[in-house]
Structure 1
Amino acid sequence: MTADPSTHQLRLLLVLAEELHFGRAAKRLFISQPAFSRQIRTLEERLGVALLKRSTRRVELTPAGEALLPHVRAVVDAVDGLHGAVKAQARPGQDRVVLGSYVSGLPALRILLDRLRREHSCPEVELRAVGPVDQVSALLNGDADAVICYGPMPEGIRTLPLGTEPRLVCLPDNHPLADREAVTLAELAGLPVVGFPPQASTEWRDFWAVDPRPDGTPVRYTEQTGATLEACISLVGLGHGIRFISESGRDLMPRPGVRFIAVTDLPPCTALFAWPASRPASQALTSLLGALRSHLRTAGEVRHPTSDKSWWNTP
């Protein structure tokens, strides 16, 4: 064994053992199938043993895989127990929610949480920066109790819709379309989209790249990839491609060298409060969900605290 396996790789193996299908397992965890397969092969290399029998039709555990599966599950359970113990020790006697959000949305999120505390019974919340590509793994690994995100989200993740908002296209400021108030998807045809990291799922990538376009044309991606909003906007400003973002991204991340343009025929995105279905919701999480639901009933969609727009973190 050349290196210790990661807990993430062990979790992937447990899901694959349940699904016995790489595509379904990858979709369930909201990562791309090639990235999933690479992680499993790395796990086999690190353990020094073949865990799976692969064929064009099915996947089976090898005898070694079957024998090791209980130990894998025990390790994952132990790590989950450790995370729980650490959380309990971090603030003894206080129940809290670890809430992940993309870093650009954290200032506005704090304002909303302060409002919820004033208007409703709301537990203590620890904010944690979570990137849009890592938000699902943060939930499944127990690094966050819930996340504020944009869909789509995979099966196994429960969601509370918070509101919708338009998606805009981010263009270099020297592009011929940059001075327009609005454009159509047809006018953006042929422009490459800044690439997505390999761990991004196909469904998530397709939604945020609008791939394929309404006429069935596939999208061309750049070799450069951006996993964060900051990285994507920087690449757009350097002329490497375009990216679609939520309207909040324009308000939260203004940058020189780029323009944010409305796209008249682009469907909106939905802001979500998301948490894993595989774990029972804690009393604190249940309390926070109750406060959010009560706020939504009385105020409608969650609005940006400093403007008249819906908001949350942006891919």
Structure 2
Amino acid sequence: MSLIEKLHPAGIDDPTAHQLRLLLTLAEELHFGRAARRLYLTQPALSQQIRSLEDRLGIPLFDRSSRRVELTDAGRAVLPVARKVVAAADELRAVAGRMAAGSSRLRLGVCESVAALTATRDIITALTRLHPDQAPDLRVLDRFADQLTALRSGEIDAAFTHFPIPDDLHGEPLTHEPRLACLASADPLTSRPALHLADLADHPVVTLVAPTFRTGHDFWTAGPRPAGPAPRAGSTVESLLATVALGTTVAFVPASTAALYPRPDLRYLPVDDLADCTFGITWHPGNPAPAKLATLRDVAAAYRRPRSKR
């Protein structure tokens, strides 16, 4: 019986390779803040994942105090097995990536919040018409961070995203739209027809973008905010909206979110001094499938041209 089988009885969910990867990074840094920055996560999100891993294994992996973080004896015993699992997962991803890269099908990442957008559907329809026997291979990725990871690893060729994007990625804009303030329907500010950023200075901001991606974090929190509460983190669009609905927080979201996620416990209001946002396609410049990306970029350029003449 292996160490994992001894520590982890049948009937309990297995730890994920992602959680084991977080474990290995934290074991190297022995500091939640530094490890979170390396992983493009917030510190609370990393802490939550490590606790979930400990719950799944049924053992404490780290001793935590206000001054330091240390591996427990059990944590040290698990590390060699965790390294093997992560290495196997990396090898599996690499093999799948090489096989998929050899296919002429374009692998497109789509997250839940943009799958229903007109631009997304139009681009996918145009690609399918060009190559009806090789329609795009769509991969649903729930989180922005998952899209970045999949682009950098080669798991997908491109993704539909809102901008800004990290400097190591390239992007092609498709559409522009206003950003709105999303507030709980009980918030007194919802009685107004429109807001200014100053009206929201005392509201904590909820965002899906980790502070390690500073440009994106500042854009989606209307930051940097010189005063007021620190931004909070959400993991998915649904968790972000639930956080807003349950408290005196605000999220700055694309205007399309109001149409895609109408809820009686939320209100979406225009903010007069908040800049618009851009939606488009994103890819990694080192992607091994330039021909597929060239077709996608041509379709995107054709999609934009009629709109620029209006």
- TM bracket (short chain): 0.5 to 0.7
2:282 pairs with 1:289: no
- Contact between 1:212 and 1:219, CA under 8 Å: does it hold in 2? no
Distance (Å, rounded) in 1 between the aligned partners of 2:292 and 2:143: 22
The RMSD of aligned alpha carbons is 5.0
- Contact between 1:106 and 1:127, CA under 8 Å: does it hold in 2? no
- Contact between 2:183 and 2:248, CA under 8 Å: does it hold in 1? no
Deviations 1:173-224 (A, max 9, x none): 454443544321011222344x468xx62245554233443xx1133568xx
Instruction: Specify the code of the residue in structure 2 equivalent to 1:273.
Output: I
Q: Give the match for residue 29 of structure 1.
A: 39
- What is the 5 A alignment of 1:126-137? 126-136=137-147
- What is the 5 A alignment of 1:1-315? 2-3=7-8, 6-12=16-22, 26-33=36-43, 35-36=45-46, 75-83=85-93, 94-107=103-116, 108=118, 109-118=120-129, 124-136=135-147, 138-139=149-150, 144-154=156-166, 157-163=168-174, 164-173=176-185, 175-193=187-205, 195=206, 201-202=210-211, 203=214, 205-213=217-225, 216-219=226-229, 226-237=234-245, 240-276=248-284, 280-283=286-289, 286-300=290-304
Is the helix fraction higher in 1 or 2?
2
TM, length-normalised to structure 2: 0.64
- Contact between 2:127 and 2:135, CA under 8 Å: does it hold in 1? no
- Contact between 1:190 and 1:219, CA under 8 Å: does it hold in 2? yes
Distance (Å, rounded) in 2 between the aligned partners of 1:239 and 1:17: 35
Distance (Å, rounded) in 1 between the aligned partners of 2:197 and 2:272: 8
Count of residues paired in the alignment:
287
Which structure 1 segments of 5+ residues have no match?
57-63, 309-315
Instruction: Specify the code of the residue in structure 1 equivalent to 2:287.
Output: A
Distance (Å, rounded) in 2 between the aligned partners of 1:34 and 1:234: 17
Instruction: Specify the code of the residue in structure 1 equivalent to 2:146.
Output: Q
Query: 1:76, CA displacement in angstroms?
Result: 3.9
Q: Secondary structure at 1:170's aligned position in 2?
A: strand
Instruction: Specify the code of the residue in structure 2 equivalent to 1:293.
Output: R
Identity of aligned residues (%): 36
Tell me which moved more, 11-20 or 250-259: 11-20
Instruction: Specify the code of the residue in structure 1 equivalent to 2:171.
Output: L
Instruction: Specify the code of the residue in structure 1 equivalent to 2:127.
Output: L
Instruction: Specify the code of the residue in structure 2 equivalent to 1:292.
Output: L
- Contact between 1:130 and 1:138, CA under 8 Å: does it hold in 2? no
Distance (Å, rounded) in 2 between the aligned partners of 1:13 and 1:257: 37
Q: 1:111 to 1:212 in 2, by over 3 A?
A: same
Distance (Å, rounded) in 2 between the aligned partners of 1:270 and 1:189: 24
- Contact between 1:191 and 1:220, CA under 8 Å: does it hold in 2? no
- Contact between 1:30 and 1:153, CA under 8 Å: does it hold in 2? no
Q: Secondary structure at 2:114's aligned position in 1?
A: helix
Distance (Å, rounded) in 2 between the aligned partners of 1:74 and 1:42: 20
Q: 1:178 to 1:218 in 2, by over 3 A?
A: closer
Deviations 1:45-92 (A, max 9, x none): 97x9999xxxx9xxxxxxx99xx78x8776545323434556788x9x
Distance (Å, rounded) in 2 between the aligned partners of 1:111 and 1:289: 17
Instruction: Specify the code of the residue in structure 2 equivalent to 1:97.
Output: L
Instruction: Specify the code of the residue in structure 2 equivalent to 1:201.
Output: A
- Contact between 2:177 and 2:254, CA under 8 Å: does it hold in 1? yes
Q: 1:101 to 1:166 in 2, by over 3 A?
A: same
Query: 1:160, CA displacement in angstroms?
Result: 1.0
